């Protein structure tokens, strides 16, 4: 344990590398990610990277952590400011689509990309991605269940199915946006969930308006 200054230098590098690697991973793929690229983009040496992570796989796992932290910060946390119930579920959908739309990551969604990339490659990375996806679906399902329990949505609505619906519309949006046009795709994704929620709403007037 030494002074703060020394710890900070290594920590700053670490964060800078993870930021860059996350960004590049959404373009080239988590596996297509090359240490050369990361090192060059940051102006550090490739071997400097090995000082922080002993292997490419170790870096990839760190990138997954980093992506999760970013997702929590930028998508989940802001939505939690909305009151529990259907408004919160809707807020998550909106903040997620906004995350894509703002181009925070050039490749759109780190997790969607990675899950498609690794869907047929067993191993440590795929296992980690499965955990992340499980956590996310659990979160969405809980939001949907809350919306029903609080009386915003009718009891016939199924939380797991609502979660699946929400996730579907979000994933499809980030897939189609760069190829089919951003404005219309995200608009479609918003209207589709709003329409769906309206069909199950106990009182449609409480639902947020689509701009």
Closer to a copy of itself by Cβ: residue 10 or 106: 106
| Nearest CA-CA partner of 200 in 158, 168, 167, 139 | 158
Q: Which of 19, 27, 29, 52 binds DNA (CB under 7 A)?
A: 52
CB 93 within 8 A of CB 78: no
Rounded to a whole number, what is the largest CA-CA distance in the chain?
Answer: 60
Q: Which of 120, 203, 209, 211 binds a copy of itself (CB under 8 A)?
A: 120
Long-range Cβ pairs for the range 182-186 (8 Å, 24+): 182/101, 186/97, 186/100, 186/101
Partner that binds at residue 115, options a copy of itself, DNA, none, CB closer than 5 to 8 Å by kind: a copy of itself
Q: Where are the alpha helices (DSSP H) in 53-158?
A: 56-71, 77-79, 86-101, 110-117, 124-149
Stretch that binds a copy of itself, among 7-15, 38-46, 187-195, 202-210 (CB under 8 A): 187-195
| Nearest CA-CA partner of 187 in 74, 98, 64 | 98
Round to whole Å and give the CA distance between 63 and 94. Answer: 25
Cβ burial of 43 (10 Å; 0-12, 13-18, 19+) is exposed
Partner that binds at residue 147, options DNA, a copy of itself, none, CB closer than 5 to 8 Å by kind: none
Q: Does residue number 129 form part of the binding site for a copy of itself (CB under 8 A)?
A: yes
Closer to DNA by Cβ: residue 13 or 176: 13
Site for a copy of itself in 153-182 (CB under 8 A): 160-161, 164-165, 167-169, 171-172, 174-180
Closer to a copy of itself by Cβ: residue 11 or 40: 40
Closer to DNA by Cβ: residue 35 or 140: 35
Neighbours of 127 (CB within 10 A): 10
Which residues contribute to the site for a copy of itself (CB under 8 A)? 26-29, 31-32, 106-108, 112-113, 115-117, 119-121, 126, 129-130, 133-134, 137, 160-161, 164-165, 167-169, 171-172, 174-180, 188-189, 191-192, 195-196, 199
């Amino acid at each position: 344990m030494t002074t703060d200054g020394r710890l900070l230098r290594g920590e700053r590098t670490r964060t800078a590398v993870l930021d860059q690697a996350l960004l590049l991973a959404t373009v080239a793929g988590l596996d297509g990610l090359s240490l050369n690229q990361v090192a060059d983009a940051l102006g550090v040496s490739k071997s400097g990277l090995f000082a922080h992570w002993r292997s490419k796989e170790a870096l990839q796992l760190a990138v997954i952590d980093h992506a999760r932290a970013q997702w929590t910060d930028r998508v989940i946390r802001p939505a939690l400011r909305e009151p529990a119930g259907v408004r919160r579920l809707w807020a998550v959908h909106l903040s997620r689509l906004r995350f894509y739309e703002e181009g925070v990551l050039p490749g759109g969604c780190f997790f969607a990309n990675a899950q498609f990339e690794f869907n047929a490659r067993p191993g440590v990375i795929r296992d980690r991605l499965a955990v992340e996806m499980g956590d996310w679906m659990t979160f969405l399902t809980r939001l949907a269940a809350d919306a029903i329990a609080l009386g915003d949505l009718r009891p016939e609505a199924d939380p797991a199915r609502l979660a699946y619906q929400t996730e579907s519309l979000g994933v499809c949006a980030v897939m189609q946006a760069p190829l089919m046009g951003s404005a219309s795709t995200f608009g479609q994704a918003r209207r589709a969930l709003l329409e769906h929620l309206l069909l199950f709403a106990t009182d449609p007037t409480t639902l947020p308006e689509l701009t």
